[in-house]
Structure 1
Amino acid sequence: MLVYSKYADDILLDLLKKDDQLAYTEIFERYCKLLVNHAYKMLGNPDEANDVVQEVFLSIWNKRYELTITGSLSSYLYKATKNRILNHIAHEKVVSNYAESISNFIENDYVLADSQLREEELEAIIAKEIELLPAKMREVFLLRKVEDLSYEEIALQLNITDKTAKQQVYNSLKILREKLKNFVGVFVW
Protein backbone atom coordinates (compact mmCIF):
# COMPACT_ATOMS: atom_id res chain seq x y z
CA MET A 1 0.00 0.00 0.00
CA LEU A 2 2.91 2.34 0.60
CA VAL A 3 3.75 2.31 -3.09
CA TYR A 4 0.23 3.44 -4.06
CA SER A 5 0.38 6.45 -1.74
CA LYS A 6 3.28 7.79 -3.82
CA TYR A 7 1.42 7.53 -7.14
CA ALA A 8 -0.06 10.60 -8.78
CA ASP A 9 -3.82 10.69 -9.34
CA ASP A 10 -3.57 10.02 -13.09
CA ILE A 11 -1.56 6.84 -12.49
CA LEU A 12 -4.08 5.67 -9.89
CA LEU A 13 -6.87 6.28 -12.40
CA ASP A 14 -5.10 4.19 -15.05
CA LEU A 15 -4.64 1.37 -12.54
CA LEU A 16 -8.29 1.68 -11.45
CA LYS A 17 -9.42 1.25 -15.08
CA LYS A 18 -7.40 -1.99 -15.10
CA ASP A 19 -9.45 -3.27 -12.14
CA ASP A 20 -6.78 -2.53 -9.51
CA GLN A 21 -8.58 -2.53 -6.15
CA LEU A 22 -5.59 -1.13 -4.29
CA ALA A 23 -5.61 1.91 -6.59
CA TYR A 24 -9.28 2.40 -5.77
CA THR A 25 -8.56 2.07 -2.05
CA GLU A 26 -5.80 4.70 -2.32
CA ILE A 27 -8.13 7.13 -4.12
CA PHE A 28 -10.74 6.52 -1.43
CA GLU A 29 -8.24 7.05 1.41
CA ARG A 30 -6.86 10.17 -0.25
CA TYR A 31 -10.16 11.97 -0.82
CA CYS A 32 -12.88 10.49 1.38
CA LYS A 33 -12.45 12.69 4.46
CA LEU A 34 -12.10 15.85 2.37
CA LEU A 35 -15.26 15.05 0.42
CA VAL A 36 -17.23 14.15 3.55
CA ASN A 37 -16.23 17.49 5.13
CA HIS A 38 -17.27 19.28 1.92
CA ALA A 39 -20.61 17.44 1.85
CA TYR A 40 -21.17 18.08 5.55
CA LYS A 41 -20.76 21.84 5.02
CA MET A 42 -23.49 21.72 2.39
CA LEU A 43 -25.87 19.27 4.07
CA GLY A 44 -25.28 19.89 7.77
CA ASN A 45 -25.82 16.21 8.52
CA PRO A 46 -22.86 13.84 8.97
CA ASP A 47 -24.80 10.69 8.04
CA GLU A 48 -26.14 12.23 4.84
CA ALA A 49 -22.67 13.58 4.01
CA ASN A 50 -21.16 10.09 4.44
CA ASP A 51 -23.92 8.54 2.33
CA VAL A 52 -23.41 11.00 -0.51
CA VAL A 53 -19.65 10.40 -0.59
CA GLN A 54 -20.13 6.62 -0.44
CA GLU A 55 -22.44 6.91 -3.45
CA VAL A 56 -19.79 8.88 -5.34
CA PHE A 57 -17.12 6.27 -4.67
CA LEU A 58 -19.49 3.41 -5.46
CA SER A 59 -20.28 5.08 -8.76
CA ILE A 60 -16.58 5.44 -9.55
CA TRP A 61 -15.99 1.77 -8.85
CA ASN A 62 -18.99 0.66 -10.91
CA LYS A 63 -17.94 2.87 -13.86
CA ARG A 64 -14.22 2.28 -13.57
CA TYR A 65 -13.83 0.72 -17.05
CA GLU A 66 -15.44 3.58 -18.94
CA LEU A 67 -14.46 6.40 -16.57
CA THR A 68 -13.21 9.44 -18.50
CA ILE A 69 -11.94 12.32 -16.44
CA THR A 70 -10.84 15.55 -18.04
CA GLY A 71 -8.99 17.72 -15.58
CA SER A 72 -7.83 16.64 -12.17
CA LEU A 73 -9.25 13.75 -10.17
CA SER A 74 -9.88 16.03 -7.20
CA SER A 75 -11.96 18.44 -9.35
CA TYR A 76 -13.93 15.50 -10.72
CA LEU A 77 -14.61 14.12 -7.22
CA TYR A 78 -15.69 17.50 -5.84
CA LYS A 79 -17.99 18.07 -8.79
CA ALA A 80 -19.43 14.53 -8.54
CA THR A 81 -20.00 15.07 -4.81
CA LYS A 82 -21.63 18.45 -5.42
CA ASN A 83 -23.96 16.91 -8.04
CA ARG A 84 -24.90 14.09 -5.66
CA ILE A 85 -25.61 16.64 -2.94
CA LEU A 86 -27.84 18.65 -5.29
CA ASN A 87 -29.67 15.46 -6.30
CA HIS A 88 -30.04 14.56 -2.63
CA ILE A 89 -31.42 18.01 -1.77
CA ALA A 90 -33.84 17.86 -4.72
CA HIS A 91 -34.96 14.39 -3.62
CA GLU A 92 -35.42 15.59 -0.04
CA LYS A 93 -37.51 18.50 -1.31
CA VAL A 94 -39.74 16.11 -3.28
CA VAL A 95 -40.09 13.87 -0.23
CA SER A 96 -40.82 16.89 1.95
CA ASN A 97 -43.47 18.17 -0.50
CA TYR A 98 -45.05 14.73 -0.61
CA ALA A 99 -45.05 14.47 3.18
CA GLU A 100 -46.56 17.95 3.40
CA SER A 101 -49.31 17.06 0.94
CA ILE A 102 -50.08 13.89 2.93
CA SER A 103 -50.13 15.93 6.12
CA ASN A 104 -52.46 18.50 4.53
CA PHE A 105 -54.73 15.70 3.36
CA ILE A 106 -54.84 14.20 6.84
CA GLU A 107 -55.41 17.57 8.49
CA ASN A 108 -57.95 18.89 6.01
CA ASP A 109 -59.51 16.43 3.60
CA TYR A 110 -59.50 13.39 5.88
CA VAL A 111 -60.86 15.36 8.82
CA LEU A 112 -63.48 16.90 6.54
CA ALA A 113 -64.44 13.48 5.20
CA ASP A 114 -64.53 12.08 8.72
CA SER A 115 -66.62 15.02 9.89
CA GLN A 116 -69.02 14.61 6.97
CA LEU A 117 -69.35 10.89 7.72
CA ARG A 118 -70.10 11.58 11.37
CA GLU A 119 -72.61 14.25 10.38
CA GLU A 120 -74.36 11.81 8.03
CA GLU A 121 -74.45 9.16 10.74
CA LEU A 122 -75.89 11.65 13.23
CA GLU A 123 -78.52 12.78 10.71
CA ALA A 124 -79.57 9.15 10.19
CA ILE A 125 -79.85 8.62 13.95
CA ILE A 126 -81.90 11.80 14.35
CA ALA A 127 -84.20 10.82 11.46
CA LYS A 128 -84.74 7.40 13.04
CA GLU A 129 -85.55 8.94 16.42
CA ILE A 130 -87.96 11.43 14.82
CA GLU A 131 -89.75 8.53 13.15
CA LEU A 132 -90.22 6.93 16.59
CA LEU A 133 -92.08 9.98 17.95
CA PRO A 134 -95.88 9.64 18.36
CA ALA A 135 -97.61 10.46 15.06
CA LYS A 136 -99.23 13.80 16.01
CA MET A 137 -96.11 14.99 17.86
CA ARG A 138 -93.90 14.01 14.87
CA GLU A 139 -96.21 15.90 12.49
CA VAL A 140 -96.07 19.11 14.58
CA PHE A 141 -92.31 18.78 15.03
CA LEU A 142 -91.68 18.36 11.29
CA LEU A 143 -93.92 21.29 10.38
CA ARG A 144 -92.01 23.51 12.81
CA LYS A 145 -88.42 22.32 12.34
CA VAL A 146 -88.41 21.10 8.73
CA GLU A 147 -91.14 23.16 7.05
CA ASP A 148 -90.25 26.14 9.26
CA LEU A 149 -93.89 27.06 9.89
CA SER A 150 -94.83 29.35 12.76
CA TYR A 151 -96.85 27.99 15.68
CA GLU A 152 -99.85 29.95 14.42
CA GLU A 153 -99.53 28.40 10.92
CA ILE A 154 -99.23 24.91 12.44
CA ALA A 155 -102.30 25.56 14.65
CA LEU A 156 -104.35 26.63 11.63
CA GLN A 157 -103.19 23.72 9.46
CA LEU A 158 -103.80 21.02 12.10
CA ASN A 159 -106.79 22.66 13.74
CA ILE A 160 -105.11 22.87 17.16
CA THR A 161 -104.17 25.81 19.38
CA ASP A 162 -100.77 27.43 18.97
CA LYS A 163 -100.13 26.59 22.65
CA THR A 164 -100.68 22.89 21.84
CA ALA A 165 -98.29 23.22 18.88
CA LYS A 166 -95.62 24.78 21.14
CA GLN A 167 -96.11 22.05 23.75
CA GLN A 168 -95.81 19.27 21.12
CA VAL A 169 -92.53 20.75 19.79
CA TYR A 170 -91.24 21.19 23.35
CA ASN A 171 -92.11 17.57 24.22
CA SER A 172 -90.56 16.20 21.01
CA LEU A 173 -87.32 18.14 21.64
CA LYS A 174 -87.22 16.84 25.21
CA ILE A 175 -87.61 13.23 23.96
CA LEU A 176 -85.02 13.67 21.22
CA ARG A 177 -82.49 15.32 23.53
CA GLU A 178 -82.83 12.48 26.01
CA LYS A 179 -82.37 9.82 23.33
CA LEU A 180 -79.49 11.62 21.64
CA LYS A 181 -77.53 12.76 24.69
CA ASN A 182 -75.23 9.72 24.31
CA PHE A 183 -74.39 10.79 20.77
CA VAL A 184 -73.98 14.50 21.22
CA GLY A 185 -72.72 16.37 24.26
CA VAL A 186 -74.86 19.44 23.66
CA PHE A 187 -77.62 19.13 21.12
CA VAL A 188 -79.07 22.43 19.95
CA TRP A 189 -82.00 22.64 17.54
Structure 2
Amino acid sequence: MSKKLENQTVINFQHGDEKAFEKVFKAYYSSIVVFTKKITGNQDEAEDITTEVFLKLFQRNTQFKDEPGIRAFLYVSARNSCLNYLKSKKAHDRSHLEIAKRMENDTLLEYEYSIKAEIVETIHKAIENLPDECRKIFKLLYYDELKPAEVAALLQISVNTVYVQKSRAMQVLRLRLSENQLAVAWLFYTLALLELDVVCRPFYALL
Protein backbone atom coordinates (compact mmCIF):
# COMPACT_ATOMS: atom_id res chain seq x y z
CA MET A 1 0.00 0.00 0.00
CA SER A 2 1.44 3.41 -0.95
CA LYS A 3 2.26 5.91 1.76
CA LYS A 4 0.27 9.11 1.90
CA LEU A 5 2.33 10.95 4.51
CA GLU A 6 6.00 11.88 4.64
CA ASN A 7 7.94 10.77 7.70
CA GLN A 8 8.50 14.36 8.74
CA THR A 9 4.77 15.03 8.59
CA VAL A 10 4.16 12.17 11.02
CA ILE A 11 6.85 13.51 13.35
CA ASN A 12 5.37 17.01 13.21
CA PHE A 13 1.90 15.57 13.80
CA GLN A 14 3.15 13.81 16.93
CA HIS A 15 4.51 17.12 18.19
CA GLY A 16 1.23 18.97 17.64
CA ASP A 17 2.00 20.90 14.46
CA GLU A 18 -1.24 22.31 12.99
CA LYS A 19 -0.04 22.07 9.38
CA ALA A 20 0.74 18.39 9.94
CA PHE A 21 -2.77 17.91 11.35
CA GLU A 22 -4.15 19.44 8.16
CA LYS A 23 -2.05 17.13 5.96
CA VAL A 24 -3.24 14.04 7.86
CA PHE A 25 -6.83 15.22 7.54
CA LYS A 26 -6.55 15.82 3.78
CA ALA A 27 -4.78 12.50 3.25
CA TYR A 28 -7.46 10.34 4.87
CA TYR A 29 -10.74 12.28 5.17
CA SER A 30 -12.27 11.15 1.86
CA SER A 31 -11.30 7.52 2.41
CA ILE A 32 -12.80 7.41 5.90
CA VAL A 33 -16.03 9.01 4.67
CA VAL A 34 -16.34 6.37 1.96
CA PHE A 35 -15.65 3.66 4.52
CA THR A 36 -18.19 4.93 7.07
CA LYS A 37 -20.86 5.46 4.43
CA LYS A 38 -20.38 1.86 3.31
CA ILE A 39 -21.30 0.73 6.82
CA THR A 40 -23.99 3.25 7.78
CA GLY A 41 -25.57 3.84 4.38
CA ASN A 42 -25.92 7.53 5.30
CA GLN A 43 -23.72 10.26 3.81
CA ASP A 44 -24.44 12.89 6.48
CA GLU A 45 -23.83 10.44 9.31
CA ALA A 46 -20.66 9.23 7.60
CA GLU A 47 -19.30 12.77 7.50
CA ASP A 48 -20.23 13.41 11.14
CA ILE A 49 -18.60 10.17 12.30
CA THR A 50 -15.49 10.92 10.26
CA THR A 51 -15.17 14.36 11.82
CA GLU A 52 -15.48 12.88 15.31
CA VAL A 53 -12.88 10.22 14.53
CA PHE A 54 -10.38 12.86 13.40
CA LEU A 55 -11.01 14.88 16.56
CA LYS A 56 -10.17 11.78 18.62
CA LEU A 57 -7.04 11.26 16.53
CA PHE A 58 -5.89 14.84 17.02
CA GLN A 59 -6.48 14.60 20.77
CA ARG A 60 -4.16 11.57 20.88
CA ASN A 61 -1.53 12.84 18.45
CA THR A 62 1.38 12.11 20.81
CA GLN A 63 0.59 8.38 20.74
CA PHE A 64 1.35 7.89 17.04
CA LYS A 65 4.89 7.29 15.85
CA ASP A 66 4.19 6.12 12.28
CA GLU A 67 1.61 6.28 9.51
CA PRO A 68 0.33 2.69 9.90
CA GLY A 69 -0.63 3.56 13.46
CA ILE A 70 -2.54 6.64 12.33
CA ARG A 71 -4.28 4.72 9.56
CA ALA A 72 -5.22 1.83 11.83
CA PHE A 73 -6.64 4.17 14.47
CA LEU A 74 -8.78 5.96 11.88
CA TYR A 75 -10.30 2.81 10.39
CA VAL A 76 -10.80 0.95 13.65
CA SER A 77 -12.30 3.99 15.39
CA ALA A 78 -14.56 4.64 12.41
CA ARG A 79 -15.73 1.02 12.43
CA ASN A 80 -16.50 1.18 16.15
CA SER A 81 -18.32 4.50 15.85
CA CYS A 82 -20.42 3.16 12.98
CA LEU A 83 -21.35 0.10 14.99
CA ASN A 84 -22.38 2.28 17.94
CA TYR A 85 -24.44 4.46 15.62
CA LEU A 86 -26.27 1.49 14.13
CA LYS A 87 -26.97 0.03 17.55
CA SER A 88 -28.27 3.32 18.95
CA LYS A 89 -30.52 3.90 15.96
CA LYS A 90 -31.73 0.31 15.93
CA ALA A 91 -31.26 0.51 12.18
CA HIS A 92 -34.03 -0.94 10.08
CA ASP A 93 -31.54 -2.15 7.50
CA ARG A 94 -29.92 -5.01 9.41
CA SER A 95 -27.45 -5.60 6.60
CA HIS A 96 -25.36 -2.59 7.64
CA LEU A 97 -25.19 -3.82 11.22
CA GLU A 98 -24.11 -7.26 10.02
CA ILE A 99 -21.35 -5.68 7.93
CA ALA A 100 -20.01 -3.91 10.99
CA LYS A 101 -20.25 -7.00 13.20
CA ARG A 102 -18.29 -9.12 10.75
CA MET A 103 -15.35 -6.72 10.92
CA GLU A 104 -13.59 -8.47 13.79
CA ASN A 105 -10.04 -8.59 12.47
CA ASP A 106 -8.74 -5.03 12.85
CA THR A 107 -5.67 -5.58 10.70
CA LEU A 108 -7.71 -7.01 7.85
CA LEU A 109 -10.22 -4.21 8.28
CA GLU A 110 -7.55 -1.55 8.03
CA TYR A 111 -5.89 -2.81 4.87
CA GLU A 112 -8.92 -4.12 3.00
CA TYR A 113 -10.95 -0.97 3.37
CA SER A 114 -8.04 1.38 2.97
CA ILE A 115 -7.29 -0.23 -0.38
CA LYS A 116 -10.94 -0.13 -1.44
CA ALA A 117 -11.33 3.49 -0.41
CA GLU A 118 -8.24 4.48 -2.39
CA ILE A 119 -9.56 2.67 -5.46
CA VAL A 120 -12.93 4.40 -5.15
CA GLU A 121 -11.27 7.78 -4.77
CA THR A 122 -9.17 7.13 -7.88
CA ILE A 123 -12.26 6.18 -9.89
CA HIS A 124 -14.26 9.20 -8.75
CA LYS A 125 -11.43 11.56 -9.69
CA ALA A 126 -11.19 9.98 -13.15
CA ILE A 127 -14.94 10.38 -13.65
CA GLU A 128 -14.84 14.03 -12.59
CA ASN A 129 -12.13 14.67 -15.18
CA LEU A 130 -14.17 13.38 -18.10
CA PRO A 131 -15.12 15.90 -20.83
CA ASP A 132 -18.14 17.95 -19.77
CA GLU A 133 -20.93 16.35 -21.81
CA CYS A 134 -19.41 12.92 -21.40
CA ARG A 135 -19.20 13.33 -17.62
CA LYS A 136 -22.76 14.65 -17.31
CA ILE A 137 -24.24 11.72 -19.22
CA PHE A 138 -22.08 9.13 -17.50
CA LYS A 139 -23.04 10.36 -14.02
CA LEU A 140 -26.75 10.39 -14.89
CA LEU A 141 -26.50 6.81 -16.11
CA TYR A 142 -24.44 5.34 -13.30
CA TYR A 143 -24.81 7.63 -10.30
CA ASP A 144 -28.50 8.42 -10.76
CA GLU A 145 -29.27 5.12 -12.54
CA LEU A 146 -31.34 6.72 -15.27
CA LYS A 147 -32.12 4.78 -18.43
CA PRO A 148 -30.58 6.04 -21.71
CA ALA A 149 -34.01 7.21 -22.89
CA GLU A 150 -34.50 9.11 -19.62
CA VAL A 151 -31.12 10.78 -19.97
CA ALA A 152 -31.90 11.69 -23.58
CA ALA A 153 -35.22 13.25 -22.57
CA LEU A 154 -33.69 15.14 -19.65
CA LEU A 155 -30.85 16.61 -21.71
CA GLN A 156 -32.93 16.94 -24.89
CA ILE A 157 -30.55 14.89 -26.98
CA SER A 158 -30.92 11.69 -28.98
CA VAL A 159 -30.68 8.27 -27.38
CA ASN A 160 -27.90 7.48 -29.83
CA THR A 161 -25.90 10.44 -28.49
CA VAL A 162 -26.28 9.02 -24.99
CA TYR A 163 -24.87 5.67 -26.10
CA VAL A 164 -22.02 7.33 -27.98
CA GLN A 165 -21.03 9.46 -24.99
CA LYS A 166 -21.36 6.50 -22.66
CA SER A 167 -18.99 4.47 -24.83
CA ARG A 168 -16.60 7.41 -25.01
CA ALA A 169 -16.62 7.75 -21.22
CA MET A 170 -15.77 4.10 -20.73
CA GLN A 171 -12.91 4.31 -23.23
CA VAL A 172 -11.48 7.41 -21.56
CA LEU A 173 -11.79 5.90 -18.09
CA ARG A 174 -10.08 2.70 -19.19
CA LEU A 175 -7.20 4.77 -20.61
CA ARG A 176 -6.85 7.08 -17.60
CA LEU A 177 -7.00 4.20 -15.14
CA SER A 178 -4.68 2.00 -17.19
CA GLU A 179 -1.93 2.15 -14.56
CA ASN A 180 -4.32 0.86 -11.91
CA GLN A 181 -5.74 -2.39 -13.24
CA LEU A 182 -7.54 -3.11 -9.99
CA ALA A 183 -9.46 0.17 -10.36
CA VAL A 184 -10.30 -0.70 -13.97
CA ALA A 185 -11.58 -4.13 -12.97
CA TRP A 186 -13.57 -2.69 -10.07
CA LEU A 187 -15.19 0.00 -12.21
CA PHE A 188 -16.15 -2.18 -15.16
CA TYR A 189 -17.38 -5.02 -12.97
CA THR A 190 -19.67 -2.54 -11.23
CA LEU A 191 -20.88 -1.16 -14.54
CA ALA A 192 -21.61 -4.67 -15.78
CA LEU A 193 -23.74 -5.35 -12.71
CA LEU A 194 -25.72 -2.18 -13.32
CA GLU A 195 -26.18 -3.04 -16.99
CA LEU A 196 -27.63 -6.41 -15.99
CA ASP A 197 -29.86 -4.87 -13.31
CA VAL A 198 -28.34 -7.28 -10.81
CA VAL A 199 -28.25 -4.51 -8.24
CA CYS A 200 -30.66 -1.67 -7.69
CA ARG A 201 -28.62 0.51 -5.36
CA PRO A 202 -26.95 3.80 -6.36
CA PHE A 203 -23.51 3.57 -7.89
CA TYR A 204 -21.89 5.09 -4.76
CA ALA A 205 -23.39 2.36 -2.59
CA LEU A 206 -21.80 -0.31 -4.75
CA LEU A 207 -18.40 1.26 -4.26
TM-score computed with the length of structure 2 as normaliser: 0.38
> Which protein has greater RCO, CA pairs closer than 8 Å, 6+ apart?
2
Q: With structure 1 as the length reference, what TM-score do the two structures score?
A: 0.41
State which structure, 1 or 2, has the greater radius of gyration over its C-alpha atoms.
1
